[in-house]
A and B are shown apart, each in its own frame.
Chain A
Amino acid sequence: MRARTEAGAGRAPAAPWLRPRGSAARSPRVPRRLVPLLFAVPFLVIIVAWVLAKSVFGVSDAALPSVGDVIRASGQLINWGILPYDVSASLYRIALGTALAIVIGVPLGLLLGTSRYSVIMFGPFLRFFRAVSGIAILPLLIVWFGFTETTIQVAILYTALIPIIFNTMTGVRMIPRGYADAIETMGGGRARLMRDVYLPGALASIVVGIRLGVGYGWRALIAAEMLVGVGGLGSMIFGALQFRALGQIVAGMILIGLLYLIVDRLILAPVEDATVRRWGVQRG
């Protein structure tokens, strides 16, 4: 649009098939203060649809609780001390599971990524296990570890581990070979390559892996808590089903999504800002 007015006001474009000056094709930057507003739009739409479903189309309380029901249920859960207990149980589990997955997965991924052979060898293997989700292995875990905390922890660890290993490995493979050459010609050995090239070079990809790992792990956690039933948000919403407490169920669902967003924004995004964004090497 701007380009057209420019061309109209000034001289004609050199040739009609040339991209107009001022590059109308490139979308302008989104103003910063607009960003949180844009984030909120789809959420507002779904809330409006929800309210309309209740008020205009008269969906029954047995199928869908009203907004008021959910707020009331949340209040009750907080007052009874159930919500703080379940939230902290779930958060503790995801934190522990992810921390373990990072401690095990990143070094393993770095090791695998440095060899061309191991990438070929483990690529399909990791993809296979990525498809067999944490939920799919739960029955087997219950046989092994019973209805215990261990079952939940192993399910999270397994689920979060795979994308972390995979992304670390592929991250290392994408580092230009020249960096390693430079270190070697300065007399650096394998330890130096790991610390100075592979780890920072793969970090953008590692953060993506951790994001996926936390996301998948969070889902596996909710499912595992439903089945194992030793507290936590999954346990809570599954328990509420017995009393048909739909308000509690929806409150739990909202909280599950909200907590993930908070973890992602408050923990992972700042890590990216401090590293890969500063170095100008972030992907995507």
Chain B
Amino acid sequence: MTATSKRVPPTRQGGRIVCAGLAHDFVNARTGESVPALGTVDLVIESGEFVTVCGPSGCGKTTLLRAIAGLITPTQGQVSCDGTVVRGPGKDRGVVFQELAILPWRTVRRNIAHGLEIQRVPRQEREKRVAYFVGLMGLSGFEDKYPHELSGGMKQRVAVARTWATNPSVILMDEPFAAVDAQTRLTLQEELLRISLLSSNSIMFITHNVDEAVFLGDRVVVMTKRPGRIKTVVPVPVPRPERTVEAMADAQFVSLTDQVLHLVREEVQ
């Protein structure tokens, strides 16, 4: 927070997530039947890492994220964050949801400040951080608008800013750009990469879009179809600062994307 004002204040080390033998079944309320949603998953997200999770629809990606967030209690196994077992939602693990997450009755400014309010950050500090993220996410001039006055892309910018503002050590993103048009999506991806480089939070990003997974992730976790297990983990050897939408056309990226696409398609058949 001193001279390094380029970094998201206050900086701290990203959290380390360990999923050990994680599995989850959903119980059908009507039949009482138990439906496996997530197979057995062992996954480590290292401190400061950007991991994308990619797999066919319904493979349990979201279930995995919700288990790490503490929004569901897994049927088997456990999640720990920096050595502490996860027993419920906590402010160390922020979540950016797909949609319907920023509150319609709060303005952009108050939505971004929401986590800070909950965590009792003093007003002055709160305003400073909100101003920082409004600038960073290109929301200037929209501070006093309500969500229904914003485009889908703008809403997701607010959601991203709200989560980053509280600076959780781990950020979990559940297909945050899935409902946004393709052009805006590319812009949002680039912005996300940029923010991820300003901070040291560990990030897990769920998507069913292969291009997105390869473009953003340090590693791409490919999942099998339901009940989802980890099929393969594909490292992306290009450092994050060197990635641009243009660079995605390079042979190395193209072959990686093809590889992941092939892996996912095997599961869709």
Binding site for B on A (CB under 8 A): 176, 178-179, 181-188, 192, 196-197, 200-201, 203, 275, 278-281
Contact = CB atoms under 8 A, between A and B. Distances in A.
Given A196-B114, A279-B146, A185 B93 contact: yes
Interface string B132-176: 000000000000001111000000000000100010000000000
A186 B97 contact: no
B71 interface: yes
Interface stretch (B7-15, B35-43, B101-109, B183-191): B101-109
A235 B166 CA distance: 61
Nearest to B159: A182
B165 to A, nearest CB: 10
Contacts, number: 72
A200 B95 CA distance: 22
Q: How large is the interface on B (under 10, 10 to 19, 20 to 34, 35 or more residues)?
A: 20 to 34
Smallest CB-CB A-B distances: 4 pairs: A280-B148, A187-B91, A186-B115, A184-B89
Given A192-B118, A196-B114, A185 B94 contact: yes
A186 B119 contact: yes
26 contacts: A176-B100, A178-B101, A179-B100, A181-B71, A181-B95, A181-B97, A182-B97, A182-B102, A183-B118, A184-B89, A185-B95, A186-B94, A186-B119, A186-B162, A187-B90, A187-B119, A188-B118, A200-B103, A275-B105, A279-B104, A279-B146, A280-B104, A280-B146, A280-B149, A281-B104, A281-B105
B222 interface: no
Contacts of B256: none
Contact of B97 (A178, A188, A197, A278): A178
B105 A185 contact: no
Contacts of B69: 181, 185
B118 to A, nearest CB: 5
B107 to A, nearest CB: 10
Contacts of B106: 196
Contacts of B104: 279-281
A181 B115 contact: no
A201 B105 contact: yes
Q: Do most interface residues of chain B lie in helix, strand or loop, or is the interface mixed?
A: loop
Which of A178, A186, A203 counts the most chain B CB atoms within 10 A?
Answer: A186
Nearest to B115: A186
A200 B105 contact: yes
A201 B88 CA distance: 24
Contacts of A181: 69, 71, 89, 95, 97, 101
Which of B105, B106, B115, B166 counts the most chain A CB atoms within 10 A?
Answer: B105
Contacts of A281: 104-105, 148
Q: Do most interface residues of chain A lie in helix, strand or loop, or is the interface mixed?
A: helix
A186 B149 contact: no
A187 B115 contact: yes
B100 A186 contact: no
Nearest to A184: B89
A197 to B, nearest CB: 7
B90 to A, nearest CB: 7
Contacts of B102: 182
A186 B103 contact: no
A192 B119 CA distance: 11
A66 to B, nearest CB: 52
A153 B101 CA distance: 42
Nearest to B102: A182
Given A197-B103, A200-B105, A278 B146 contact: yes
A276 to B, nearest CB: 8
Contact of A187 (B118, B147, B148, B162): B118
A67 to B, nearest CB: 47
A222 B115 CA distance: 49
Nearest to A183: B118
A279 B97 contact: no
B72 to A, nearest CB: 10
A120 to B, nearest CB: 12
A192 B91 CA distance: 14
A168 to B, nearest CB: 16
Contacts of A203: 105
A281 B147 CA distance: 10
A185 B101 CA distance: 11
Given A178-B99, A181-B97, A186-B119, 5 more contacts: A183-B114, A185-B94, A186-B118, A279-B105, A281-B105
